[in-house]
C-alpha cells in the first residue's frame, strides 16, 4: 500500500488532465471495492488510500462517504493473537475516517460537506458527533491562509451562515449543537493559521478580523439568529 500511496501522491502533484482522469477512475474503483468488501478492515484500507488524493476527487469522495455512512454496518471481526482475541475495525472506524476526508475537502465542495456534517452531528456515538461538529468549527473559523492567500475572504463564513439561516425554526432547534459550534467561531474576532515558511520551519500567524461592511452584516445576522433561538 505504501508504494501505491506514493504513486498516487505523485500523480496528484502532476496537475494535468490525464493524471486527474486516472485519479477519478481510481476513486471509482475504490468505491466499487468498498461496495464489494466483506469486512471493515479492507474498507478502511480503501478509505486510507482515497485520503492520499482526496483533493483531486471531491465529488467521488462525497459519494463514497455517503455510501459508507448509510450502509448496513458489517460485524466487527475478532482476530486471534498470541495474547488472546482482539477486536478488528468497526463501522465506527469507517465513519470517523469519512469525517476526516470531509474535513479535507470542506472548501472544495462546501454544500455537500456541510450536509453530511450536519447529519453526523446527531450521531448516537459521541466521538463521531464531536468530530462532525469539528467540521462546523473549522469551517466557521477565520483562517489566516484562507483570508490572505485565497480570494474566498469572508465568503466561507457567509456560506455556513446562509446554510443555517434557510432552515425553518424547528430544524434550527434540532441541530442546535451544530449552530452553537458555528456561531461561537463566527462571533470570534481572532484570525489564526500556520504555514511552512521553510522546509523545517512552521510559522504561526495570529491577528484580528477586519471590520468590513460585509463582515458587519454577517455579525448582525448571527446575533439576530441567536436572539430568535433563545428568546
pLDDT single digits (tens) 121-135: 999 999 999 999 999
Q: Give the pLDDT score at 105.
A: 97
Distance in angstroms (rounded) separating the CA atoms of residues 195 and 213: 28
DSSP tag of 39: S
Put simply, whether the predicted model's pTM sits higher than 0.75 gets the answer: yes
Question: Which neighbouring-strand residues pair with 86?
Answer: 79
Beta strands in 88-229 (DSSP E): 190-198, 201-208
Average pLDDT, the chain: 91
pLDDT higher than 90, residue 61: yes
What percent of the chain is predicted at pLDDT more than 70? 99
pLDDT higher than 70, residue 108: yes
Mean pLDDT of 199-226: 86
Contact of 43 with 37, CB cutoff 8 Å: yes
Which three three-digit cell numbers place residue 39?
Answer: 469486512
Contact of 219 with 227, CB cutoff 8 Å: no
Mean pLDDT of 146-162: 92
Q: What angle do CA 168, 174, 178 make, to 5 degrees?
A: 100
Mean pLDDT of 116-121: 97
Distance in angstroms (rounded) separating the CA atoms of residues 60 and 112: 11
Distance in angstroms (rounded) separating the CA atoms of residues 47 and 97: 7
Q: Is the dihedral of CA 36, 40, 42, 45 positive or negative?
A: positive
Mean pLDDT of 1-9: 78
**pLDDT digit string, tens, across residues 92-102:** 999 999 999 99
Least confident of 7-21, 85-99, 132-146: 7-21
Contact of 140 with 130, CB cutoff 8 Å: no
pLDDT higher than 90, residue 200: no
Give me the numbers of helices (H) and strands (E) for the chain, helices first please: 12, 4
Amino acid at each position: 500500500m505504501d508504494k501505491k500511496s506514493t504513486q498516487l501522491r505523485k500523480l496528484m502533484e502532476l496537475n494535468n488532465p490525464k493524471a486527474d482522469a486516472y485519479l477519478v477512475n481510481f476513486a471509482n474503483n475504490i468505491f466499487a471495492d468498498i461496495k464489494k468488501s466483506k469486512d471493515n478492515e479492507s474498507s478502511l484500507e480503501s478509505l486510507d488510500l482515497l485520503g492520499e488524493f482526496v483533493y483531486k476527487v471531491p465529488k467521488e469522495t462525497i459519494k463514497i462517504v455517503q455510501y459508507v455512512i448509510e450502509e448496513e454496518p458489517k460485524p466487527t471481526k475478532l482476530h486471534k493473537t498470541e495474547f488472546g482475541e482482539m477486536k478488528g475495525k468497526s463501522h465506527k472506524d469507517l465513519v470517523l475516517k469519512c469525517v476526516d476526508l470531509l474535513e479535507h475537502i470542506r472548501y472544495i465542495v462546501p454544500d455537500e460537506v456541510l450536509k453530511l456534517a450536519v447529519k453526523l452531528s446527531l450521531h448516537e456515538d459521541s466521538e463521531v458527533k464531536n468530530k462532525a461538529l469539528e467540521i462546523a468549527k473549522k469551517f466557521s473559523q477565520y483562517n489566516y491562509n484562507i483570508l490572505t492567500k485565497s480570494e474566498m475572504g469572508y465568503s466561507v463564513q457567509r456560506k455556513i451562515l446562509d446554510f443555517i439561516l434557510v432552515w425553518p425554526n424547528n430544524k434550527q432547534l434540532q441541530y442546535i449543537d451544530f449552530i452553537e459550534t458555528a456561531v461561537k467561531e463566527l462571533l470570534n474576532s481572532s484570525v489564526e493559521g500556520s504555514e511552512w515558511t521553510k522546509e523545517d520551519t512552521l510559522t504561526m500567524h495570529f491577528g484580528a478580523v477586519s471590520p468590513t461592511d460585509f463582515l458587519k452584516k454577517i455579525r448582525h445576522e448571527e446575533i439576530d439568529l441567536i436572539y430568535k433561538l433563545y428568546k
